A = this chain, B = another copy of it.
């Protein structure tokens, strides 16, 4: 059947290799595995920036972080950037949000332009182009300088309603545990990771978000697009019972790190090893204590995705709903001497990507695997292609994956992925003496190579074929000068792209050749009646 709806599911900080279909030996994720068996699983999918905000803005705009400019968390997106909803509404798909976007509007600029923010269209400009069913950013702490996220979420009100008292039930119940004496232990402190969250599983963030989606399926008229955006398994690393105790230290996949890796580390990479989170994860015992909880949160998510898939089938939506499952980035979890994400090893920059296309045209590819590098920004073109919309669009920088979904992994893909990280806001910028303009790192990944370019520093190169665990940096290897130079050429070609020529399509520009002569502009004519040579003159 043709694609009517689009269900775009995103997890937060989910490492691809923490799903059983991606090879995790002890963490079984049968529902996602089943989705993969019905669709195509991409094993080399990359986020546009290994950090929530810019990565998501790239998912939602179909553009690189350098193009949309929201290069770190909290940097507002320019109002002129089109989002998923802007594209899909043109295709007749109301585009709804349940969960997290990490979007910040540029309200002063919207006001400068004189935009009425109270109309439905205006409201969407404040919500990353979505119609909001239930926005839940999943981070509502308060510190000495105030609340991180000043807006109250519906989830917090829900918790209060369910009997979880207090001004900040998100912090005090959903992301807190209890000590032996009943004392509140905040989930921010990883030594509590082995304890169950104070909230009932049925009222936890993952359950709540799933409930919203299920309500949506029952109430919203088709066709639609739903962005179902879970906050988990993002920290705080705390899971509700029973997910807090499903796994133990024996269930961990081995840590990837060596003293040699640390000793030879590139200066910028080394600076990232010095963050508090990297140092904490570097300590013995921390992984064993925390990772079982991270795994439990994933197991919980998979269980709830089972509810989602079941509901889709029960309601007859499965047969005509395109489903994409992915994450905004991964999590180092102590690998490569790092915690968090923010850098470019596979645990961080690679994302899970599973695409289920309900169409009959996709029958032959079900369960197949595509190992070509693809990008987060490929999703909007894929959605548009699946809906029969015209491509290319001048704003979109990715390519449709629909040929892979319908004809299989052998289809022509560019086979190169770019990712970026702007570390201006981080302490690494000052530690490395970088200005706000040059605190950046760029990644170029091809089938075989991964190249990192940090302005002002030597290059980094990994041979993913010979060294899939990225242990040996060949950036200054004499034997790899040519590879480094070729990768740098790819970076230059990429960075010179037309990212802002968005007000006219290439098709329109080509159609304009010779047009000005037709409008009376006669450049370089000597006399009346002259017929110009091969090249018609053009208006300047």
Interface residues of A in 422-448 (CB under 8 A from B): 422, 424-431, 435-437, 440, 442
Residues of B near A519 (CB, < 8 A) are: 141-143, 145-148
Q: How far is the CA of A432 from the CA of B342 in the complex (A)?
A: 42
Partner pick for A537 among B189, B277, B497, CB 8 A cutoff:
B277
Partner pick for A425 among B283, B492, B512, CB 8 A cutoff:
B512
The interface bits of chain A over 251-287 (1 if a CB of B lies within 8 angstroms of the residue's CB, else 0) are 0000000000000000000010011111111010010
Q: Are A524 and B148 in contact (CB under 8 A)?
A: no
Residues of B near A51 (CB, < 8 A) are: 540
Q: How far is the CA of A275 from the CA of B514 in the complex (A)?
A: 12
Write the nearest CB–CB distance from A433 to chain B, whole angstroms. 13
Q: Is A466 an interface residue (CB 8 A)?
A: no
The interface centre, meaning the residue of A106, A109, A146, A280 with most chain B CB atoms within 10 A of its CB, is: A280
Q: How far is the CA of A277 from the CA of B119 in the complex (A)?
A: 52
Write the nearest CB–CB distance from A150 to chain B, whole angstroms. 9
Q: How far is the CA of A75 from the CA of B502 in the complex (A)?
A: 9
Q: Are A113 and B79 in contact (CB under 8 A)?
A: yes
Q: Are A500 and B67 in contact (CB under 8 A)?
A: yes
Interface residues of A in 499-540 (CB under 8 A from B): 499-504, 506, 509-510, 512-528, 530, 532-540
Q: Are A276 and B119 in contact (CB under 8 A)?
A: no
Write the nearest CB–CB distance from A140 to chain B, whole angstroms. 8
Q: Is A341 an interface residue (CB 8 A)?
A: yes
The interface bits of chain A over 64-78 (1 if a CB of B lies within 8 angstroms of the residue's CB, else 0) are 001111111111111
Partner pick for A521 among B148, B517, B537, CB 8 A cutoff:
B148
The interface centre, meaning the residue of A52, A139, A341, A436 with most chain B CB atoms within 10 A of its CB, is: A436
Q: Are B427 and A536 in contact (CB under 8 A)?
A: yes
Q: Are A537 and B76 in contact (CB under 8 A)?
A: no
Q: How far is the CA of A67 from the CA of B498 in the complex (A)?
A: 9
Q: Is A388 an interface residue (CB 8 A)?
A: no
* Residue ID in chain B nearest A538 by CB atoms: B426
Q: Is A491 an interface residue (CB 8 A)?
A: yes
Q: Are A279 and B524 in contact (CB under 8 A)?
A: yes
Interface residues of A in 150-204 (CB under 8 A from B): 171, 186, 188-191
| Given known A-B contacts A143-B519, A524-B275, A78 and B504 have beta carbons under 8 A apart | no
Number of A positions contacting B (CB below 8 A):
121
Partner pick for A339 among B510, B521, B524, CB 8 A cutoff:
B524
Write the nearest CB–CB distance from A66 to chain B, whole angstroms. 7
Q: How far is the CA of A537 from the CA of B235 in the complex (A)?
A: 13
The interface centre, meaning the residue of A76, A121, A188 with most chain B CB atoms within 10 A of its CB, is: A188
Residues of B near A506 (CB, < 8 A) are: 424, 435-437
* Residue ID in chain B nearest A142 by CB atoms: B520
Interface of A is mostly: loop
Q: Are A69 and B498 in contact (CB under 8 A)?
A: yes
Q: Is A112 an interface residue (CB 8 A)?
A: yes
Q: Is A80 an interface residue (CB 8 A)?
A: yes
| Given known A-B contacts A114-B116, A500-B66, A535-B431, A189 and B528 have beta carbons under 8 A apart | yes
Q: How far is the CA of A116 from the CA of B340 in the complex (A)?
A: 45
Residues of B near A496 (CB, < 8 A) are: 66, 440, 442, 453, 455, 491, 495
Q: How far is the CA of A527 from the CA of B192 in the complex (A)?
A: 8
The interface bits of chain A over 469-508 (1 if a CB of B lies within 8 angstroms of the residue's CB, else 0) are 0000000000000000000100111011111111110100
* Residue ID in chain B nearest A522 by CB atoms: B188
Residues of B near A52 (CB, < 8 A) are: 540
Q: Are B71 and A498 in contact (CB under 8 A)?
A: yes
The interface bits of chain A over 453-468 (1 if a CB of B lies within 8 angstroms of the residue's CB, else 0) are 1010000000000000
Write the nearest CB–CB distance from A158 to chain B, whole angstroms. 21
Q: Are A276 and B533 in contact (CB under 8 A)?
A: yes
Q: How far is the CA of A211 from the CA of B35 in the complex (A)?
A: 73
14 new A-B pairs (CB below 8 Å) besides A276-B535, A437-B498? A67-B500, A73-B540, A75-B501, A114-B115, A139-B539, A144-B518, A275-B524, A275-B538, A280-B524, A340-B540, A427-B514, A427-B538, A453-B496, A500-B500
15 pairs, A vs B, C-beta closer than 8 Å:
A69-B501, A73-B539, A75-B501, A77-B503, A80-B109, A113-B125, A114-B115, A114-B116, A139-B521, A186-B528, A280-B526, A425-B512, A427-B538, A429-B513, A437-B497
A-B pairs, 5 with minimum CB distance? A277-B524, A69-B500, A141-B520, A143-B520, A436-B506
